[in-house]
């Protein structure tokens, strides 16, 4: 393992509208109360008890191969979601990215966009990653639009990657590389 590439440090990242901070047991309550739409958009079939989520959130600080940060709205102090970097491959300096907003009332407010830019900036500039990838399902064009807006490139389609309520859904693999991030810092398209 390359010691310089890890998620041992669990930072707090502050933006204009959101603060990303290490998850804690208290965030389990927000996760257990999450809108079922959040589970669908991330392809999560399982339902977790509060106790299971408390154990999960309480153990995240122990993992050097993943970074789980709560997304807290600055004006209210409410945990509205989470961002996760996982599946760290230190040899190839890459990982996976996932974001989840717990309540659809948070959709369309730019919170996810800002949170994504904050975590990507940390991953490329502080951790030293080279590649970050994600999977977005075909029934989530809003998320795909946000990912494209911040610089992720569509690399391929995993056909029938998810079975949701008896329907097969394609998953789109997208990625962003460090040199692309350096070139635009999450703003690849000039403002119009």
Model confidence over 97-118: pLDDT tens digits? Answer: 999 988 877 888 999 999 999 9
Q: What domains can be seen in the chain, in order of their start residue?
A: 13-131 (3.40.630.30)
Question: Environment class of residue 124 by beta-carbon count within 10 Å: exposed (0-12), middle (13-18) or buried (19+)?
Answer: buried
User: Mean of the pLDDT values across residues 154-182?
Assistant: 97
Apex 22 CA angle, 6 and 60, nearest 5: 65
User: Mean of the pLDDT values across residues 44-67?
Assistant: 83
Q: How many residues does the chain have?
A: 192
CB 30 within 8 A of CB 79: yes
CB 15 within 8 A of CB 114: yes
The answer on pLDDT for 33 being more than 70 is no
Apex 44 CA angle, 84 and 60, nearest 5: 35
Q: What is the mean pLDDT of the chain?
A: 90
CB 31 within 8 A of CB 102: yes
User: Mean of the pLDDT values across residues 33-50?
Assistant: 76
- Tell which wins on pLDDT, 1 or 9: 9
């Amino acid at each position: 393992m390359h010691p310089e590439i890890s998620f041992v440090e669990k930072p707090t990242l502050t933006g204009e509208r959101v603060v990303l901070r290490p998850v804690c047991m208290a965030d389990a309550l927000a996760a257990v109360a999450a809108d079922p739409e959040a589970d669908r958009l991330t392809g999560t079939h399982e339902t977790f008890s509060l106790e299971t989520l408390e154990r999960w959130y309480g153990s995240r600080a122990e993992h050097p191969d993943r970074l789980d940060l709560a997304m807290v709205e600055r004006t209210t102090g409410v945990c509205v979601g989470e961002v996760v970097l996982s599946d760290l491959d230190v040899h190839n300096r890459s990982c996976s990215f996932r974001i989840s907003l717990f309540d659809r009332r948070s959709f369309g407010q730019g919170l996810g966009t800002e949170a994504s830019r904050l975590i990507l900036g940390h991953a490329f500039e502080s951790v030293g990653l080279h590649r970050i990838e994600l999977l977005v399902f075909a029934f989530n064009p809003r998320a795909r639009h946000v990912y494209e807006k911040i610089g992720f490139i569509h690399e391929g389609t995993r056909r029938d990657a998810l079975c949701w309520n008896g329907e097969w859904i394609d998953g789109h693999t997208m990625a962003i590389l460090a040199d692309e991030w350096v070139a635009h810092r999450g703003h690849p398209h000039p403002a119009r």
